[in-house]
Amino acid sequence: MRLLCKSCSFASNRRVDLFKHYRLKHGNSGRTQSIPCLYANCPCSFKTFNAHKIHLSRHHVESVAPNVVVSFSCQRCNLAAFSSEKQYFEHLHSHLKRFEVVQCVFKDCSFSTNIYSTFCSHKHRKHGQHSHEDFNPEVLKTLSDTPVFQHDPVFSEQDPEVFVEPCEDLSEVIKDRLGLLFLKLESCYNVPNKCIDEIVDELQFLSCSSSGPVLRYVVESTFKKHNYDFDSALLSDLVSNLCESHPISSAVGKDGPFTTSYRRRQYMKSHFSVVDPKEYILKKRENKTFQYIPILQSLSQVLKNSLEKHLVATRNSDRASKYQSFQDGSHFQKNIFFSSDEDRLSLILYIDDFEVCNPLGTSRKIHKVTAVYWVLGNIPAHARSALTSIYLAILCKASDTKQFGFQTVLEPLLRDLQSLEKDGLFIPSFGKVIKGTVVSVVADNLGAHAVAGLVESFSGPHVC
């Protein structure tokens, strides 16, 4: 098939040759000329060839013939503006998250649901391996149009300022990275909020107050270098807009989301995966409570990044010659739950008391706290020993734990663990429901005796 260039009479049988021709012959017109997408029915236009190449790799994959333009249409809202399967399913997920009923998009399937997890599980189990031919004709439309370099009237050379950018909003990306930096300083490096406030004040001075004269000098010298006549008021307005529109300036400015500790907390809760603790009342009159961080929600956030390779390696690895972890023991291998062919999550609980005040003082037992942590046992041993892999589940005063007992304090955790073992948890990265349970409880002598209901004194002749 001959591919034609509409800008001149060049023709070629290969898309690569046509792309090289356009770059050499028509790519030196400066930034004022937009680069149209190679596919005629795609309205996108780009500033650089690199952006064009990224767009082709993301939205015009080679799974379809280069002379076929694919368009996915939503049967729910009749929107047909999706050139890739990924974009189309992300749009369907937006309907499901609003609890709207969505029909299955594949042939000979009458399944429908308004639950996001149910739809993902059905797609993974019934239509895991599929191609474009498996979609309903109403959903997938293919047009046999020749892919030529053709300027769309909307993106013509008379209107060079209109571009469709292939990347995300960089200002939001920069804000998120800045928020992650502040969160890492606070949580990983134990930097106090007062120090972070000082850093924000310095960033505000560097990006807002002091950068104006520097930008003014650079812009003014650039205009003079190119013999461009400019107005002083225009220059001042340009420099002011550049300072105010910079992502760091807007983030650490007077009304920015990182100026105070409270605003940083609110930004992190709304933009990052934060699981808030729940307060449970032990005795209302005496204001005795404990905090529980839901383990199912925490697991969902931890497993957002796919760990399937570790789960499969744990289940199918051949370690008959030596012991490497608790999975190699006979109790684990003979366990009915873990000997299944399905993937399983193994959790390790750790229980210990710690003193939040001076442990050597006279009041060393007043503020003693019982803490319950959990670790995902499916990850490698070297990762399990890292502090970033240990997650908090329960915090309760040690005196309240002794008064009301572990059965009361552990009740919400045990309820979620029963749900995990019986019903499982849907993991989006796996596209299926995975069950799990506790494989071991780790504690020192005092903690182990307390959980088991044994005597917590080791000087007597009897342990019970």
Q: Give residues with Cβ within 8 angstroms of 60, minimum separation 6.
A: 37, 38, 39, 42, 83, 84
User: Tokens 């049967």 map to which residue?
Assistant: 75
Q: Yes or no: say if 351 and 447 are a contact pair by the CB < 8 Å rule.
A: yes
What tokens appear for 447 in the block? 């903690």
Question: Is the Cα dihedral 154, 155, 160, 161 positive or negative?
Answer: positive
**Predicted pLDDT at 27:** 56
Residue 187: exposed, middle, or buried by beta-carbon count in 10 A (0-12, 13-18, 19+)? exposed
**Predicted pLDDT at 80:** 63
Q: Give residues with Cβ within 8 angstroms of 37, minimum separation 6.
A: 43, 44, 45, 46, 52, 55, 56, 60
| CA within 13 Å, CB half, 162 | 12
**Predicted pLDDT at 367:** 85
Phi-psi region of 108 (alpha: psi -120 to 50; beta: other; left: phi over 0): left
**Predicted pLDDT at 54:** 72
For the entire predicted model, the pTM comes to: 0.58
**Predicted pLDDT at 386:** 85
Q: How far is CA 266 from CA 204, 392, 431, in A?
A: 20, 21, 31
Q: List phi, psi (to 5°) of 244.
A: -75, -30
**Predicted pLDDT at 140:** 78
**Predicted pLDDT at 149:** 38
pLDDT along the chain (464 residues), means of 10: 57 61 58 60 66 69 46 76 76 81 88 84 82 80 45 36 45 87 89 92 82 84 84 84 83 88 91 90 90 93 68 51 75 84 90 82 76 91 85 94 93 95 85 89 90 80 64
**Predicted pLDDT at 29:** 45
